[in-house]
Amino acid sequence: MMPRHKPIPKLDEEVIERFWSKVDKAGIGECWLWTDHVDKDGYGPFTVSKGNRYKSTRIAYFIHHGKDPGDLLICHKCNNPTCCNPHHLYAGTCKDNLSQASNESRMSCGENHHKSKLSDGQVKQIRMSTESCVSLAKEFGVTNQTISNIKNNKTWRHLL
């Protein structure tokens, strides 16, 4: 299996200085903001050498901890994608990152999700209904599978 992230090579002092020159280091407890351009997801790309580009957060973590995070994500305690303060960063799994986002109510679910076709009230109605999935799907303009997932508590679990 291919690694998810390419390994970070040993960084010489010149590269480390160039990296930190693109970061506005406020106080130890403050976010240290990436001042160079950011990608579409709000993260700062940093080129170590020709063809070796990494997210700025991975480089900040690597410099501070002295080890490559490997296939782990670099997550933010501060939820600021441009922050490079190593005290705000931790290596974690996708599950860790999603769990933190969920605990902090940063994930839209149910009727607050931009792709939702149903309201919380409609889902409660569907769960209480004795009608068939086919009938409910037609009534609410969704698929049979959507109705089945709601009735079997596979989706909209926040309403349980």
In a domain, 97, yes or no: yes
Q: What is the crossing angle of helices 120-128 and 133-140, to 10°?
A: 160
Based on the structure, what is the number of domains in the chain? 2
**pLDDT at position 97, please?**
74
Q: Are residues 29 and 98 in the same domain?
A: yes
Q: Are residues 71 and 150 in the same domain?
A: no
Residue 115 has pLDDT above 80, yes or no: no
Give the domain CATH number at 24.
Answer: 3.90.75
Using CA atoms, how far apart are residues 86 and 72, in angstroms rounded to an integer?
15
In a domain, 5, yes or no: no
Percentage of residues of the chain with pLDDT beyond 70: 91
Q: Are residues 55 and 119 in the same domain?
A: no
With bands split at pLDDT 50, 70 and 90, how would you rate the model's confidence at 62? very high
**pLDDT at position 103, please?**
63
Q: Are residues 17 and 85 in the same domain?
A: yes
Q: Are residues 76 and 31 in the same domain?
A: yes
**pLDDT at position 113, please?**
66
In a domain, 79, yes or no: yes
- For the stretch 132-150, pLDDT in tens is 999 999 999 999 999 999 9
Give pTM, 2 decimals. Answer: 0.65
Range of the domain at 54: 13-103
**pLDDT at position 83, please?**
96
Q: Are residues 126 and 87 in the same domain?
A: no
Q: Are residues 31 and 94 in the same domain?
A: yes
Q: Are residues 30 and 68 in the same domain?
A: yes
Residue 59 has pLDDT above 70, yes or no: yes
Q: Identify the domain boundary among 62, 77, 103.
A: 103
Q: Are residues 33 and 77 in the same domain?
A: yes
Using CA atoms, how far apart are residues 30 and 105, in angstroms rounded to an integer?
22
**pLDDT at position 94, please?**
84
- For the stretch 29-47, pLDDT in tens is 899 999 999 999 889 999 9
Q: Within its chain, how far is the Cα of 108 from the centroid?
A: 13
Rounded to 10 degrees, what is the CA torsion of 94, 100, 103, 106?
-90
Name which of 58-62, 88-92, 115-119, 124-128 the model is least confident about: 115-119
In a domain, 7, yes or no: no
**pLDDT at position 159, please?**
82
In a domain, 108, yes or no: no
Q: Are residues 28 and 84 in the same domain?
A: yes
Q: What is the pLDDT of the chain when averaged over all its residues?
A: 89
- For the stretch 95-109, pLDDT in tens is 887 777 666 655 556
Q: Are residues 59 and 33 in the same domain?
A: yes
Q: Are residues 74 and 33 in the same domain?
A: yes
Using CA atoms, how far apart are residues 10 and 126, in angstroms rounded to an integer?
57
